Amino acid sequence: MNTLVMGVLNVTPDSFSDGGQFAATEAAIARGRALAAQGASIVDVGGESTRPGATPVPVEEEQRRVLPVIRALTAEGIETSIDTIHAQTALAAVAAGARSINDVSGGLHDPAMLDAAARAAAEHGARFIIGHWRGIPDPAHQRSDYADVIAEVRDALADRARAAIAAGVDSSLIVLDPGLGFDKTGQQCWALLAHLDTLIELGYPVLVGASRKRMIAEALVGAGLEADLSARDLATSVVTALAAGSAWGVRVHDVVGSVQALAVAGAWQGARPAEDMGSAEDMADPPRNGISTADPITPGGASSARGADQVGGSADRIVLTGLEVFAHHGVFDFERQNGQRFIIDAEVAVDLRAAASGDALERTVHYGELAEAIVAAVERDPVDLIETVAERVADVALRFAGVRSAKVTVHKPDAPIAATFADVAVAVVRP
């Protein structure tokens, strides 16, 4: 599994981490562009602080802050999520282009949130990121009285996921977040990270959000080190490296550091010889949430023992071939004006055992939805190169839950080539 980086964009005047420097719309848009350029797969836009003691913001003001930013970034092809605990803002943000609703309360703060998430999922295919909390963060930890923090957080998240599904949210669009720093001591937060596999066993992707939090500062101060924002960013990157390949994503302020951490983690794990990847018995264990503990993570998402043509760390694949799309891509003006046929082949690596054993559509990739998403991606704004089209389609395929890597071939059978030819195509393999 390739861990993605979610960049934090606080469009608030009272953010604990950035001092409100991105409160102005143009500054926020510029920051979102920068985060994407640095390697963020998703820019998480928030218009209300959930820090201890923060003043609640009316939804009208929250939307005034975030919606122009989401619209602008979406128009530039940058994927966004909305960090909100309010159903009205969630729906407005998804309508503006956000691909995920990131609710740190898991739908507990606003009774209308689960229905909003179901509507957003059905109408826009938006994810619902379910955070664990017991309320607005309490620095005195009066609500941090867990008998077993790992079991209690796991069970609470499982309950919220079931409630979301009952409300109509497709299970393939659910992501879980253990809510580090929300009514949990630093020690409890580290315990949750050390047992991340317990959460992954629930069968959903997991987002880790430790960036710049008190748990990071406490660990540094406890070691006699400085704990300013720069130091917290470096320590956060270490958390990212340790979560690589297990967590679906990491939510961070310093995107560059986490992107570098993932690259190093990938190189390290990818260089391990096959005999170091676990015993035969370990290799036979079913993967959790599409992640086999025996799968190495490499910069390209490929195992060192895998042949060049194999996609992902699993032999299971869903293959869609001969998908015909009419679009206006090409270098020449007449190609842009007249358009032409493009034929798309897509092959995605996804572990299919859970789907087959339970005959469960939600545990596999719906190939009809995949085809629709590919057609929409190809029909979008014209570009010069089919290389760009292939990259765009691969990105779309990788956004489907459980997909570990994708091989995409874009054929251009009517290309303006003077010589007689049968086809010209470009193929890309992406983690």
195 C-beta neighbours (distance < 10 Å), count? 17
Rounded to the nearest angstrom, the gap between the alpha carbon of residue 319 and the centroid of all alpha carbons in its chain is 23
Q: From residue 315, how far is each of 129, 268, 303 by CA, in Å? A: 29, 23, 12
CB 135 within 8 A of CB 143: yes
Q: How far apart are CA 112 and CA 119, in angstroms?
A: 11
For 206, phi then psi, to 5°, come to -125, 130
CB 347 within 8 A of CB 410: no
CB contact set of 164 (below 8 Å; sequence gap of 6+): 107, 114, 117, 118, 128, 130, 174
179 C-beta neighbours (distance < 10 Å), count? 24
Q: From residue 397, how far is each of 77, 131, 401, 406 by CA, in Å? A: 15, 25, 9, 7
Q: What is the DSSP string of 331-366?
A: SSHHHHHH-EEEEEEEEEE---HHHHHHT-GGGS--
CB 153 within 8 A of CB 192: yes
Q: How far apart are CA 126 and CA 118, in angstroms?
A: 9
Residue 184 a catalytic site member: no
Task: Name the catalytic one among 99, 119, 127, 251.
Answer: 251
Task: Name the catalytic one among 213, 363, 412, 430.
Answer: 213
CA geometry: angle at 277 spanning 249 and 256, to 5°?
30
The two structure tokens encoding residue 347:
């092959």
The two structure tokens encoding residue 269:
């794990």
> Tokens 């059905």 sit at which residue?
122
DSSP state of 317: E
For 255, phi then psi, to 5°, come to -70, -45
Q: How far apart are CA 45 and CA 23, in angstroms?
A: 11
Q: How far apart are CA 110 and CA 89, in angstroms?
A: 11
Q: How far apart are CA 299 and CA 296, in angstroms?
A: 10
CB contact set of 414 (below 8 Å; sequence gap of 6+): 340, 341
Return the active site residues. Answer: 213, 251
